[in-house]
Amino acid sequence: MARLTALNPEEATGKTKDLFNAVQAKLGVIPNMMRTMGNSPALLEGYLNFSGALGQGKLSSKIGGLIAMAVSEKNACNYCLAAHTFIGENLAKTDPELLHAARSGNSADPKTAAILQFATTLTNKRGSINDEDVNLAKNAGVSEAELAEIIGHVALNILTNYFNNAVNTEIDFPTVQPLELQN
């Protein structure tokens, strides 16, 4: 059971209502995570602004989605795995096999693999990476701007993973079984 209330958009007021209207206009729906974040308009606005800014960066939205899959798997966030799988398959039109591989930090494309390995290493080491970790990514063609954005994407996904795990957000996407349970 959810630990915080997912607000009803029709009953929202003030800043929360404005943010919900913006999400509705962009996505056509207000997912439960955002409805729950709406309890704090500051949190919801911060999340939306951070996500929007990264969406304008060097890394494509497809790569951002793959990073989200890798980080969500590492943090065992069932809500985010479900949401990013649905978005990846249905909106971004990403091959389901690519999404599945990303959950393990893998890709057939060497640069994408390096990006996902850097993201998973960053997550596993809680940010305390070393020169070798950075050089592995750089040697695969990942630029410093891209490295900075990978760190941003990991941070954004840790925010959503921790939020959803902490409040037990009700999953409003088709559920996805964590890899550890598939073996």
* pLDDT attached to residue 66: 98
- Short-list 56, 165, 28, 3, CA closest to 20: 28
Q: What is the pTM of this model?
A: 0.95
Q: How far, in Å, CA of 148 to CA of 25, rounded?
A: 30
Q: What is the mean pLDDT of each run of 10 residues along the chain (183 residues)?
A: 96 98 94 98 98 97 97 96 96 94 96 98 97 98 98 98 98 90 50
* pLDDT attached to residue 183: 44
* pLDDT attached to residue 96: 94
